[in-house]
Structure 1
Amino acid sequence: MEAGMIDVAFALEGHAVPQEHRYALAEALLGTLPWLADEPDAGVHRLKLVAGGGGESLLSPRTRLTLRVPRGRGDAACALAGTELRLGPHRLRAGRPQQRELLPHGTLYAHLVAAEDADEAAFVERMRAELAALGVAAQPVCGRWQSTEAGRLVGCSLMLSGLDAAQSLRVLQQGLGGHRRLGCGLFVPHKSAAAVGAPA
């Protein structure tokens, strides 16, 4: 069963980024890959960073910039390799790309799914409706509520379990909620239910 979406991961050269960098990163990527705006399911995974000081987060040798894109856009996404991304005063350079298949897993986790406000009951109902539209009967389990980007993004981490392979692939490909280019609503396989409380 082949997914219609893939992940394309890039090593990053650089030292740090602003702690709140989602909008800046999305804008920088659109400058190089403008077609991202035409792909509603395409998104940008959360950067895995190290806490720093002075409003910065630090890159580690394992930090990767990972895009989730339609399979037919995989080669186009690889054009990001070697380009410079400016996030305020910080500069990053994308390294060699690696294309990765989306593999189904019984338990999926998203670090941040965007909500309209902090009404958890309304949020859960909306998630159930989106899952039903995908033909997925899993019960969404909310984690920690978060506000980032100066309050412009509100949401929580979310875990889904008990998925079969077809359901898992549908969620991986389409995600939940909005703001994919800001790192929201993108799911990855996870083995531990404890992760639902992890920070974004």
Structure 2
Amino acid sequence: MIDVIFPLMGKQLPVDHGYYLFSAISSVLPDLHNDTTFGIHPVNGQIVGNRILNLTEFSRLVIRTPVEHIRRILPLAGKTLNVGNHLIYLGIPNTNAITPSSQVYSRLVVIKGFMEPETFLAATCRQLSDLNIQGDASLVEQHHIAAINNGRFSGTHSPYLRRTINIHGKEIVGFALRVGNLTDEDSLRLQEHGIGGRRKFGCGIFVPVRNINGRT
């Protein structure tokens, strides 16, 4: 698997942009609509009021795809996308191969039917076992993200970072998740397959913990 990284020019996106971004990409590359081999990372930026994300010079569109499918992604270069009534322009991409890390993180994992911390974590462990991955899964706590975000907490009373994504007007609940004590082989496998569903909408995509700044 490899990450195809497009420079991103524009002003703003909705904070909850996963569904809109996938729809915009599908309008340019309709053959990706039913493809389950790729995932779209959440776009990084600066969260401001009214659930808006200000784009910065470091904002990127990142698509995780099998190496043999890179050519299918490249036609996005130079395109303008309408993402929730916000226009963004994509530059010429580069690529990064996924790399192993003993700890990886996903800002939002959703597993259908599991919306409470304890049952969600148990379902996560079952999925890891199904992938033959040995690792320690844990829900990310509020204070961890607050430390990264200069003390800013999200508006929830749960000690865990519960997040939602809106798809077709329906709020889907998930959690930020960390998996540690991974071997190189298991780390790569987890980054290739992810956990849960909705990878096209930015869910269940893992990155090395050292790279989570800007993706929280």
- Partners in 2 of 1:20 and 1:40 — Cα distance? 21
CA RMSD in angstroms, aligned pairs only: 2.0
Distance across 1 between alignment mates of 2:2 and 2:27: 21
Per the TM alignment, residue 158 of structure 1 is displaced from its structure 2 partner at its CA by: 0.7
Deviation readout 1:20-59 (Å, 9 max, x if unpaired) = 2211111001111223234313111011111233442210
Whole-Å Cα distance in 2 between the matches of residues 163 and 49 of structure 1? 29
* TM norm structure 2: 0.82
> In the alignment, is the contact (CA less than 8 A) between 1:6 and 1:70 conserved in 2?
yes
Structure 1 residue corresponding to 2:162, chosen from 145, 168, 186: 145
Distance in 1, Cα, partners of 2:41 & 2:66: 14
1:96 counterpart SS class:
coil
Q: Say if 1:41 and 1:180, in contact at 8 Å, map to a contact too.
A: no
Q: 1:175 aligns with which of 180, 184, 194?
A: 194
Give me the whole-angstrom Cα distance separating, in 2, the residues matched to 1:118 and 1:110.
16
TM-score (norm 1): 0.88
Structure-2 residue corresponding to 1:184: 203
Aligned positions, number: 192
Residue identity in the other structure for 1:119: E
**Structure 1 runs of 4+ with >4 Å offset:** none
Cα pair 2:18 2:165 within 8 Å, conserved: no
1:155 to 160, 174, 187: 174
User: CA offsets, 1:143-200, max 9 Å, x none?
Assistant: 21112326522111111111111111110100000000110000001149xx7xx985
CA distance in 2, matches of 1:83, 1:191: 31
Q: Secondary structure at the match of 1:172?
A: helix
Matched-pair identity in %: 29
Alignment of 1:103-114 (within 5 A): 103-114=99-110
- Conservation of the 8 A alpha-carbon contact between 2:43 and 2:215: no
Give per-residue Cα distances to partners, 1:91-141, cap 9 Å, x unaligned.
111111011101111111111101334222221121111111111121210
Mean Cα deviation higher: 112-121 or 18-27: 112-121
Contact 2:22 2:201 in 1 (8 A): yes
